[in-house]
Structure 1
Amino acid sequence: MKKILIIGGGSIGKRHLKNLLFLGEKDIMVVEVNPERANTLGKEYDITVVGSIGEAVNKKNFDIVFVCTPSVYHLENALSFVEQGCDLFIEKPLSHSLEGVDRLVAVVKEKKIVTMIGSNWKFYPLFQKMKELLEVGVIGKVLSARCESGQYLPDWHPWEDYRKGYSANKELGGGILLDSHEFDYLTWFIGESVKKLACFSDRRSNLEIDVEDTAAVILQFTGGTIGEIHLDYTQRFPQRNFEFFGETGTILWDATLKKVILRSKESGETNFPLRDNYDLNNMYIEEVKHFLECIDERKETNTPMERGASIIKLIQAAKESSEKNQIIFVS
């Protein structure tokens, strides 16, 4: 039985705990600094919850660590466990900056650690369908692509004060650019590295935050494809979508439509709907299953540490572009 430690008992830490228990893992401990939350987790799931990492390591040695804290603490939380040989799951983004990332990557390589950066949407059936369609070339060469993710920040977790969350606070690694999903998924879909990018970002709303709430990024990939990413904390009606424009057709996914649409001159429009009653938690379960299977087989996950580092480099390039008002060459 694997000995698992979850650092951070907030919403995503609790989700991973619940899913690990569902998958049959029983030897799990959680570190949670909030006493009220810690007490609730311990009672609800009948597990040991401690108030610090030091207290956890004094109790036992661990095989696997899940880091589910604000991104500013990720590397600090991860490094000592990786040095001890623990396999590592870190929620996205890998970190809030590049400082210390190369050292962590080097230790991971040296110790042959299995790592994974949180990327749950890669296990969503419609994302897998889009990836499949793109890989078999149903729309020919992809000429351009765009994606959008926007939602009003106070509505993300309406049960808590948005002003205290990590997304709203620079010192915790917040800001819409560091909500790194779209950078990861767009580059995953295209299957190429980014050559150069330009970004405009700013705090455009009256939200009580000290980070950017709106960003527009234009990227050129090494193969020539041009991509656009729009991100914001301001839309009162949530939007999330991807579009790929190829030589012979278009692929579209929109979260509100719950389907992938393939349009081509030859075959017209084909719909690939999400199956009825699909539970979004299933993609988180599949994500953790993939991680555990890779540990058992000692093979690389679909989003290893180096992948996470490359996404942070993109985000930092976007920030630099916005600050300097210039195009940044990435690779």
Structure 2
Amino acid sequence: MKKIKVGIIGVGRMGQIHLDNLCLKFPDVEVVAISDVMEESKKFADQYGVNKFYKNCNDLIADSEVEAVVICSPTDQHADNIMTAARAGKEVFCEKPMDLSLETVKKVLSVVEETGIKFMLGFNRRFDPNFMKIRSLIDEGKVGEPQIVKITSRDPGPPPISYIKTSGGMFLDMTIHDFDMARFMTDSPVKEVFAVGRNLTDPEIGKAGDIDTAVITLTFENGAIATIDNCRKAVYGYDQRVEVFGSKGMAGTHNNTPDNHYYYDQNGQSASLPLHFFMDRYIRSYYNEMKEFMDCLITNTKPKVGGEDGLISLAIGLAANLSMKENRVVRLSEILND
């Protein structure tokens, strides 16, 4: 069977995850080129036996051997990378978000539609086995019609202030995954957004113009309600939980831990804390999402997560920012200008 020839743009933290998976776990895929502005990143090409290394990503896109491009470049380069690759006829997988501007995202989607390429956005949490199980229980009718979705998403510690200053804010950087997860669990368009945010864990985050703690309520067109609570700092680890309550029952997931032991003594009970880093917690989901993309290329089908999902999640994030600023409920149509 002919192998799919892939090029990876950006081999930072996420790029290295996809490079490792594609090279070691996908026998039907060959990574033929990687690109990174850092010359020292060439070591990854040597390490994984990738023959071509480009400092300029446009050279990788122009390489006639490359059939599909995995984009893991900085956020502010995603839109240009996607459009350049699409116009070159390459299939594209891109880490979220496409951009922090709705107008730019709409332009990207227009190019994707015009060129007819396969395009998938990296909302990896949809492919986490725990969350996929909840979704399957909903699909099987065991939960009934979802009525309340509760999402807890708390990081073990905040990223560097230098990153926060360019991240677009917590709602567009962190909570955007939870907005997508809420949509994934309800299968209904978001109607209204209300958000409350505070700076409670690190005053430097506030000085950078961002928040670190928030609660967001989403109301869906079908009447369902979702609540999301976020914090940049949970001292006990990476806290990731989802619960869906419906007309026939409830489904939820606990945190992943290094083991499932518990211990009792005269002082009480103890157990392992949650995994401490997103790369540990979601390692399986990164494999699963890339398998989805590669399967779509092999079977000529449309990926389950596309550009429209990115557009809507970005719009919800912008609505949350506006809601927090003006202390009011914001209709999503205000943001999308429907």
> TM-score, length-normalised on structure 1?
0.83
1:61-80 mapped onto 2 (5 Å cutoff): 62-80=66-84
The answer on 1:214 being equivalent to 2:213 is yes
Q: Following the alignment from structure 2 to structure 1, what is the Cα–Cα distance between the partners of residues 187 and 109?
A: 22
CA gap 1:163/1:34 in 2 versus in 1, 3 angstroms: farther
CA RMSD of aligned residues (A): 2.5
The answer on 1:132 being equivalent to 2:136 is yes
What's 1:198 paired with? Answer: 194
**What are the superposed Cα offsets for residues 219-273 of structure 1, whole Å, 9 maximum, x if unpaired?**
1001001110112212112311111222343222122479xxxxxxxxxxxxxxx
Contact 2:61-2:88 at 8 Å conserved across structures? no
What's 2:326 paired with? Answer: 324
What's 1:301 paired with? Answer: 303
Q: Following the alignment from structure 1 to structure 2, what is the Cα–Cα distance between the partners of residues 177 and 84?
A: 29
**Greater CA drift, 223-232 or 69-78:** 69-78
The answer on 1:188 being equivalent to 2:184 is yes
Q: Following the alignment from structure 1 to structure 2, what is the Cα–Cα distance between the partners of residues 207 and 2?
A: 48
> TM-score, length-normalised on structure 2?
0.81
1:1-331 mapped onto 2 (5 Å cutoff): 1-22=3-24, 23-24=26-27, 25-36=29-40, 38-47=41-50, 48-57=52-61, 60=64, 62-154=66-158, 162-164=160-162, 166=163, 168-170=164-166, 172-173=167-168, 175-179=170-174, 180-206=176-202, 208-209=204-205, 210=208, 211-237=210-236, 238-256=238-256, 281-331=283-333
Q: Following the alignment from structure 1 to structure 2, what is the Cα–Cα distance between the partners of residues 291 and 35?
A: 29
Alpha-carbon shift at residue 91 of structure 1 (Å): 0.8
Alpha-carbon shift at residue 147 of structure 1 (Å): 0.4
Alpha-carbon shift at residue 330 of structure 1 (Å): 1.2
Alpha-carbon shift at residue 27 of structure 1 (Å): 3.8
Q: Following the alignment from structure 2 to structure 1, what is the Cα–Cα distance between the partners of residues 48 and 117?
A: 29
Alpha-carbon shift at residue 301 of structure 1 (Å): 0.6
Q: Following the alignment from structure 2 to structure 1, what is the Cα–Cα distance between the partners of residues 192 and 311?
A: 17
Q: Following the alignment from structure 1 to structure 2, what is the Cα–Cα distance between the partners of residues 6 and 147?
A: 32
Alpha-carbon shift at residue 146 of structure 1 (Å): 1.0
Residue segments in structure 2 that go unaligned for 5+ positions in a row = 259-279, 334-338
Alpha-carbon shift at residue 196 of structure 1 (Å): 0.6
Secondary structure of 2:194's match? strand
Q: Following the alignment from structure 2 to structure 1, what is the Cα–Cα distance between the partners of residues 100 and 181?
A: 18
AA matched with 1:189:
M
CA gap 1:289/1:131 in 2 versus in 1, 3 angstroms: same
Contact 1:72-1:173 at 8 Å conserved across structures? no
AA matched with 1:63:
E
Alpha-carbon shift at residue 174 of structure 1 (Å): 5.0
Contact 1:198-1:219 at 8 Å conserved across structures? yes
Q: Following the alignment from structure 2 to structure 1, what is the Cα–Cα distance between the partners of residues 106 and 12?
A: 28
Q: Following the alignment from structure 1 to structure 2, what is the Cα–Cα distance between the partners of residues 224 and 51?
A: 50
**Greater CA drift, 74-83 or 222-231:** 74-83
Q: Following the alignment from structure 1 to structure 2, what is the Cα–Cα distance between the partners of residues 246 and 10?
A: 41
Contact 1:176-1:232 at 8 Å conserved across structures? no
**What are the superposed Cα offsets for residues 191-241 of structure 1, whole Å, 9 maximum, x if unpaired?**
111011111224332264423322211010010011101122121123111
CA gap 1:14/1:140 in 2 versus in 1, 3 angstroms: same
Contact 1:7-1:32 at 8 Å conserved across structures? yes
Contact 2:193-2:217 at 8 Å conserved across structures? yes
Between the aligned residues of both structures, percent identity stands at: 26
CA gap 1:105/1:58 in 2 versus in 1, 3 angstroms: closer
What's 2:272 paired with? Answer: none
**What are the superposed Cα offsets for residues 272-300 of structure 1, whole Å, 9 maximum, x if unpaired?**
xxxxxx99533322221211121222221
**What are the superposed Cα offsets for residues 178-200 of structure 1, whole Å, 9 maximum, x if unpaired?**
22211111111111110111112
Q: Following the alignment from structure 1 to structure 2, what is the Cα–Cα distance between the partners of residues 105 and 325?
A: 32
Q: Following the alignment from structure 2 to structure 1, what is the Cα–Cα distance between the partners of residues 168 and 56?
A: 21
**What are the superposed Cα offsets for residues 4-32 of structure 1, whole Å, 9 maximum, x if unpaired?**
22111111111111111120322431111
Secondary structure of 2:188's match? coil
Contact 1:145-1:242 at 8 Å conserved across structures? yes
